[in-house]
Amino acid sequence: MMQYVLPTFAFLAELVVFFVLARRGLTPFGGWQTALRVVLALTLCGMAVVHFAKPGELARIVPPALPAGSLMVIVTGVLELAAAMGLLWPRFAPAAATGFSFLLIAIFPANVYGAGQVVGGLRMPGVLPRTLLQILFIGLTLVAGWGFPFAARD
């Protein structure tokens, strides 16, 4: 569980710092939505690096019914980088957020299959914590790309 506690804490700390800086006007990132896009893009880049650095280890959580586990890990890393770039481009942010949210849903079976397994010497979290993190990440991604659905209009 520790392998998820530290990255999750780092992500949340990064999120708080960017929101505080954006709120105080101390950052060139603009408003809260832009700050959230930057935070998520940095997180996605970090996730992609892990996919490229250890594809064989991450392939262990790809369900055996799916072919070429290592290739699928690399492809998802490339898609994470594409989503990161898309989030940083306001014009493409809604499409990137939507696409990445669908990717998170598509890879969820691997998270269920990998629940409790040891990967790279670390035990993967159970289904419930992973599901909650996935829901949070999908929600933040959609808000970053599209904004709040019922936000007051100017």
pTM reported for the whole predicted model: 0.80
* Residues 116, 22: Cα–Cα separation, whole Å: 38
Quote the mean pLDDT of the chain.
83
Each residue of 108-148: pLDDT tens digit?
988 889 888 887 777 888 889 889 889 988 999 999 999 87
Q: What is the pLDDT of residue 2?
A: 46
End-to-end alpha carbon distance in the chain: 44
Q: What is the pLDDT of residue 87?
A: 96
Q: Does pLDDT of 1 surpass 60?
A: no
User: Whose CA is closest to 140, among 83, 61, 58?
Assistant: 83
Q: Does pLDDT of 99 surpass 90?
A: yes
